[in-house]
């Protein structure tokens, strides 16, 4: 049996071409085998440049290839459900970009079809597999900063292309879907519970009916609160802080780790700050290795796909809140 999974990639999205496919070539357990695009010549060029064995002019042809075991889906958000379900029905394991589905019910349908067809499904929150994230979680679980009172997460950057799919509501656009989903996910992960209610305020530009920035509060029980910000119209930032009853953890680059350079964050307890250094590692390789080895070993994934459904429920509530200017309770 091979110690590598043959991967097919649906589409030529920038994150695939610049981040994930090069990481497949670095992974010990992943093989970049094929790519598909509606523009066959584009698929041919990328296959030739990045070393795929095959290229296809449509997604169905790639899914029909019996030599492909897993597919990576970096398509626009509104296409995630359709192509995840089609891939599962062809017996392919699926690594789907975040947000996995643009509604909780879409996520539920995706999960159910994948389970019915006996294939793995994972939402591509690569930061969750990075050792820095796992170290922060370990410190929290060990009680180093006491009980969490506040999670603050910010993820934003200047995004000026009004023609990009992220700027269209019908395509699942908006900063909350694109980058705010990280902060929602991290708040839930580190606090270790689901929020009871949310309130959000959004801004947009040029009359576009999506959130170009969102400020939101998520209320948990046991006095924990999460404050998050996502934006397409502010300076680059991807950081979070966790304030507990005994101390604070500050992670200045918490969602997008660079593959070169150590990751540094600070833990402050009793007024004394301790720097924590995590050696550089490619977070996309971590993600691919996790998914591929789970398939090869027949073990459960570290990231339970049910978490994608729970994240989507919160994001839906946040959208409902900012559109109605009201607190939304999550049942």
> Block means of pLDDT (10 residues each) for the chain, length 331 residues?
91 97 97 98 98 98 99 98 99 99 98 99 98 98 98 92 84 95 99 98 86 97 95 94 99 86 95 96 97 98 98 98 97 82
Domains and CATH numbers, the chain: 5-124 (3.40.50.720), 127-284+312-329 (3.30.360.10)
Helix and strand numbers (H, E) in the chain are 11, 15
What pLDDT does 197 receive? 98
* Rounded CA separation 173/248 (Å): 33
What pLDDT does 228 receive? 99
* Rounded CA separation 86/108 (Å): 15
φ, ψ (nearest 5 deg) of residue 141:
-65, -25
Q: How many CA atoms lie within 13 A of 196 on its CB side?
A: 7
- Residue 325, both tokens: 């200017």
What pLDDT does 201 receive? 98
CB 263 within 8 A of CB 130: yes
* Rounded CA separation 136/149 (Å): 16
Query: In angstroms, how far is CA 137 from the centroid of its own chain?
Result: 17
- Please report, for residues 6, 22, 198, the alpha-carbon distance to residue 48 in angstroms, rounded to integers and kept in the order given: 17, 13, 47
SS3 51: coil
CB 27 within 8 A of CB 285: yes
Q: Which residues, in sequence order, are bridge partners of residue 274?
A: 267
List strands edge to edge, sheet with 121-123.
54-56, 30-36, 5-10, 70-73, 93-96, 121-123
- Going by C-alpha positions, the residue among 62, 270, 312 that lies closest to residue 176 is 312
Q: Calculate helix-pair angle for 181-191, 306-324, nearest 10 degrees.
A: 120
Q: How many CA atoms lie within 13 A of 89 on its CB side?
A: 9
What pLDDT does 1 receive? 53
Q: Which residues contact 109 (CB under 8 A, 6 or more apart)?
A: 81, 85, 101
């Amino acid at each position: 049996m091979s110690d590598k999974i043959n991967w097919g990639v649906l589409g030529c999205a920038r994150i695939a071409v610049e981040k994930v496919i090069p990481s497949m070539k670095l992974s010990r357990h992943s093989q970049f085998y094929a790519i598909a695009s509606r523009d066959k010549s584009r698929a041919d060029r990328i296959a030739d440049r990045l070393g795929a064995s095959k290229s296809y002019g449509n997604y169905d042809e790639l899914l029909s290839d019996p030599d492909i075991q897993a597919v990576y889906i970096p398509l626009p958000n509104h296409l995630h459900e359709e192509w995840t379900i089609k891939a599962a029905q062809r017996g392919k394991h699926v690594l789907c970009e975040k947000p996995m589905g643009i509604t909780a019910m879409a996520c539920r349908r995706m999960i159910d079809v994948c389970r019915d067809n006996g294939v793995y499904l994972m939402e591509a929150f690569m930061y969750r597999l990075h050792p820095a994230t796992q170290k922060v979680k370990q410190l929290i679980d060990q009680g180093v900063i006491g009980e969490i009172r506040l999670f603050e997460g910010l993820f934003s950057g200047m995004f000026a292309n009004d023609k990009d799919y992220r700027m269209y509501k019908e395509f699942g656009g908006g900063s909350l879907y694109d980058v705010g989903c990280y902060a929602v996910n991290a708040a839930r992960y580190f606090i270790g519970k689901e929020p009871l209610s949310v309130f959000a305020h959004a801004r947009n530009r040029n009359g576009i009916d999506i959130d170009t920035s969102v400020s939101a509060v998520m209320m948990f029980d046991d006095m924990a609160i999460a404050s998050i910000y996502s934006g397409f119209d502010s300076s680059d930032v991807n950081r979070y802080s966790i304030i507990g009853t005994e101390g604070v953890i500050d992670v200045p680059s918490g969602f997008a780790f660079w593959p070169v350079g150590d990751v540094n964050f600070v833990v402050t307890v009793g007024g004394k700050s301790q720097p924590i250094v995590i050696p550089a590692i490619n977070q996309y390789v971590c993600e691919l290795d996790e998914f591929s080895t789970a398939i090869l070993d027949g073990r459960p994934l570290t990231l339970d796909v049910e978490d994608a459904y729970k994240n989507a429920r919160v994001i839906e509530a946040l959208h409902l809140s900012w559109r109605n200017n009201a607190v939304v309770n999550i049942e």
